[in-house]
Homo-oligomer: A and B are copies of this chain.
Amino acid sequence: MWLRTSCELTFDIYVPTPFILMLRPRSGYHQWIAREEYKIKPSVPVYEFTDIYGNLCQRLVAPPGPFSVHTSADVMTADYIDRSPGAPFVEVQNLPDTVLSYLLPSRYCESEKFTDMASAITSGYQMGYDQVWAIETWLRASISYIPGSSEIPISAVEVNQRQSGVCRDLSHLGIALCRSLSIPARLVVGYLYELSPMDLHAWFEAYVGGRWYTFDATQTELTGGYVAIGYGRDAADVAVSNQFGPPVYPISQHIEVQLIEQEPD
């Protein structure tokens, strides 16, 4: 399906503030970007680099005063999410080198603390896809998804204590559980068509059967319409906006995802 995504972030800046933004979705196997806009007001020098996970990141210094970033894209993405029950566990020795860093514990995914819990949740399931599916199902049933309930990322251990969280929190717990079973897992930040309430979204991917598969415990049923902006080990790596210096928060954030009937001409 073709989607038109839009993200507008507005800030009120007091001192010149360095930003690292991650707001440019990349074309790749999963999605194709046919049109893209990236506007910054006021206009300041920006330059772009590719981070260690392959994300396109933009660096700039926001001047004092109102500052806004508006990105928009027309994206072809899959109508349906691939499900692959039975896809086998990949033994660590057979994982591609580039996937190995997604096995390690990270800031918000203390995977080394979840071994027993993951074994319990996935007990009786075939190793691989089915284990991750069991984890996703368990998350959906056990951790309340409460959009907007937290601003600041909390870690998998804390999510498990609270038994509730935002999309990012459920993903962090899912990732920690996967990694504790030696299944590589990573966080994805992006858009989801018909997400309600509409916002930026986060989900996770697990590497089984020789490729990455999408999982999302916040949705009762997985539909298509996912647009990835960034990938990383957890939310520390894939903030769409990182500011440095005195804290600065968006004074407004406006997200839209529309279906567009056919390829824009």
Partner of A182, one of B47, B54, B244: B244
Provide the residues of chain B in CB contact with A97, threshold 8 Å: 49, 51
In the complex, A148 has a CB within 8 A of chain B: no
Pick from B27, B48, B52, B107: contact of A110, CB under 8 Å: B107
A98-106, A137-145, A199-207 - the one binding chain B: A98-106
A1-41, CB < 8 A from B:
18, 20, 26-29, 32-39
Cβ < 8 Å to B, chain A residues 99-119? 100-101, 103-107, 110, 112
CB-nearest residue of chain B relative to A103? B244
Indicate if the CB atoms of A36 and B39 lie closer than 8 Å.
no
Contact-residue bracket for chain A: 35 or more
A26 and B48 contact, CB distance less than 8 A: yes
Nearest CB in chain B: distance from A64 CB, A:
15
Number of copies: 4
Task: For chain A, residues 50 to 87, give those with C-beta under 8 angstroms from any C-beta of chain B.
Answer: 50-52, 54, 56, 58-61, 76
Does A236 belong to the interface (CB within 8 Å)? Answer: yes
The SS class assigned to the A binding surface is mixed
Report if A28-B51 is in contact (Cβ < 8 Å); known contacts: A38-B35, A59-B93, A237-B104.
no
- Chain A, 219-238, CB within 8 A of any chain B CB: 236-237
Q: In the complex the two chains form, is B35's CB within 8 Å of A37's CB?
A: yes
Of A76, A236, A245, A264, the most chain B CB neighbours within 10 A belong to A236
With CB as the reference atom, state the residue of chain B lying closest to A30. Answer: B47
What residue in chain B is nearest A115 (Cβ atoms)?
B247
From B27, B39, B152, contact of A263 by CB (8 A):
B39
| Contacting residue for A18 out of B20, B39, B92, CB 8 A | B92
Q: Say if the beta carbon of A123 comes within 8 Å of chain B.
A: no
Which of A35, A49, A103, A110 is most buried by chain B, counting CB atoms within 10 A of its CB? Answer: A49
Q: Check if A163 is an interface residue, CB within 8 A of chain B.
A: no
Cα separation A187 to B183 with both chains bound (whole Å): 25
Chain B hits for A103, CB < 8 A: 244
Chain B residue nearest to A93 (CB atoms) is B18
> Which residues of B are found within 8 Å of A45, using beta-carbon distances?
32
Additional 11 contacts, C-beta under 8 A, given A26-B48, A27-B38, A27-B47: A20-B100, A27-B58, A34-B39, A36-B36, A43-B76, A49-B97, A52-B101, A92-B245, A104-B236, A106-B106, A107-B107
